[in-house]
Structure 1
Amino acid sequence: MKYLSTWILLVCIVLATVGCNLNEDTNTNLASQEIHNKIQEENEVQNLQQFHLGMTIDKVREVLEANDIEIINEIENTGDSDAWDWGNKSIWTEGISFTFDHDYILYELEYENDEATELGVKAGDKIDLLKEVYGNNYKLYSYDQLVDLGVVISKDLTAEIYEYQMEDHYFRVFVIDSKITSWGISKYKLGTNSPITEDYSQVALHKQDNPVKKKLWEEFQHYRELIHADNNSKYTQILASDRARGLLTLDKLGFFKLSEYEFNQVNKSREELRSVLEHSVVYSGYSSNNEHIIAIISPQSYESESYQEAINLVANQDDEYEFLSYITEQSDERSLLVGLDLKIESTSVQTDEMNIEKIIVSNPDDSNSDTAYFAEELTDVIAKYKRTKMVNNSLKSGEWYALAYDGTLIYDPVITVFLNGEQVVLSRQ
């Protein structure tokens, strides 16, 4: 019995010793795993920081492979062959995507993981933190604008993108319901291949004391009062409608915020003016960079004759109506040449010279269209009326330029100006 007790005691001692060793090994393994995880996390942060705009696609693949980051998809844009990014290639991983140009050079990065920006903003943060850290000098793209650009990040109507202009690239933050879902950097402005050409610091966004809003609002109220005081000229109606359009457009673009009262008043006035401006030949619109675009086309109907005084006043030329009418009158029997006088002026950013890509005039249903251009037939007309010819699609802010288009099959013109990679549709009502 004594020997049995001694044997049992020895067995317990051995088991206890083995148990201690097992616990020590387990604790050691857990500690090692934690250290490994931390090192891995730090390496992942460092690896992600190795990616930068301008890298070749081979270099990106090399870094991904070296850091065991799996490529889950590679696609090539084979949609619209006329699109500027047709043929560009994209690589997707679990938390980051890369987009390359035709020369396979990286021009866009997007982070959908918990990678933070240099200033500490990351997915999951509230939009208030973004504004606190990066400020309010941004361009805001609403859901409708994203749909128009073909950049649909979500079916959620609260989806929007904040875009900041940095020193040599654009910084973008994707937001749904006021929460950041991802962020990225790009060589180009959203939806375009336009490099850094704008200064968002000059655009006061989301500020109630915005000088552009103040000016547009005061002018809108002035013309509205003239209309109500029976000074209801076509010129006054055109300017009231234009200022209303400017307020509604720039409110939608996020340059400033109209109160509910202001919005309802502006929208109501614009709706009231739609019917009376049905036959107007004066078109206008506002770009996302706050440029005011005005176009006047040749009068082609009996009803348009009532706009003669308004046309001359808008162009600040006593013979504008005569000039545009003369262009159409000189058309041959085979086609109808329609004059188009164009002016673009910046309302907030001081820009001496601008470039347009093209101007398309079409029917509302896009059944027929033509590109406005400087026709040779205009040479003598411009000399006769002392107008300015546009050279290489370049124009100075605030000056009028004479163009023309074939309006033979265009019965209800819609004018679209392609400016800095953006399509600005002009309206007459």
Structure 2
Amino acid sequence: MNINCYMTDLGIRARAASRVLARVSGAEKNAILERIALAIQEQADTLQRANARDVDRALAHGHDAAFIDRLTLSEKVLTMMVKSVRQVAALPDPIGEITSMRMRPTGIQVGQMRVPLGVIGVIYESRPNVTIDAAALCLKSGNAAILRGGSESIESNTAFSVLISEILRTSSLPEDGVQVIDTPDRAAVNKLITMTDYVDVIVPRGGKRLMQKLIGKARVPMIKHLDGVCHVYVDDDADISKALDICDNAKTHRYGTCNTMETLLIARGIAPNILPLLGKLYLDKAVELRVDPAARTILANADIEPLVDATEADWHTEYLAPVLSIRIVDGIDSAIEHINMYGSAHTDAIVTEHYNRAMQFLNEVDSASVIVNASTRFADGFEYGLGTEIGISNNKLHARGPVGLEGLTSLKYIVLGHGEVRL
């Protein structure tokens, strides 16, 4: 296969499809999304058989539990996918929305119209559900999509590709509106991220190694995050019952996600009361604890062992595993300083009953999602009411946080006149 020719052909067809999608009605797009949701339900057995082949191969290659969890299309995951597609369909169509119209002294009216970005390239690794999430969001937002899943999920992605292609082929939407790259050759990715004539934005979803590679080589703009070093800070005025539930969920609900807590910060005043309880909870779930000297003293006095001394590197680390760093801080100012120094601007939470401290945390923590009295695991497009997400961005330009429909659009100025000329 000539990769340059193959990818250029995909780009040409995607660009042509994007021009058609930009003018498709909301009702037509919603009808297609409902057909996709129904097809996932009806073909669940076929999809899971394809996925099982991916999982078996991953197990044979020795991938860890977090990897297998991301790869597996369980009944619960498929049900959530159906709900996500239908939630996207139920959202207002952003395309063509006109806002901020105002009359100028010259007589012209000036406003803005929301429009698609054009062609979205999505590169992802071991999450086959991204194929459906990306297709649903791109179609609803009037964008064409070029999708490139990882080789580890090739069977699952192929099954989803066949499902989507069949629906588009028998619809009013262009079949090339969603194209899945069907070669595992990495040269296809290298080409995709440089196709500035055909691709408007790249959304990478994967590990740090993938992100670093793309950042170094991409010429197409990217919506991305590099790390998910997420924190929970337990304030002196925290409700201990709430804190136990939140800190448990934030770390142990799922280990391999970018919104999982990696560092726990606890105010010095409340630490003797809550840390022994949390320490027992985590060790009962086989979570390795990497602690600073103050945390070690409190946990050792409560006979909570084994413990590992935290290093400077631990405060920077996204484990994606049952490992947790714990640090005792003097108070909210120290917690915010730690988060802004070591965090990845992804998601951080405070547990407190003190209103002013909650507001200070919201104002001063420089992250894409900042949470009061809830788990970091809520930093997710579905949970935020976006239907789903095409990715999470800790960029400050264009899109920040979970990227849904609005994040895949732009604004252009529109001017309505009555024959005015500039003097």
Q: TM-score range by the shorter chain?
A: under 0.3
Structure with higher strand content: 1
Bigger Rg, structure 1 or 2:
1
Structure with higher helix content: 2
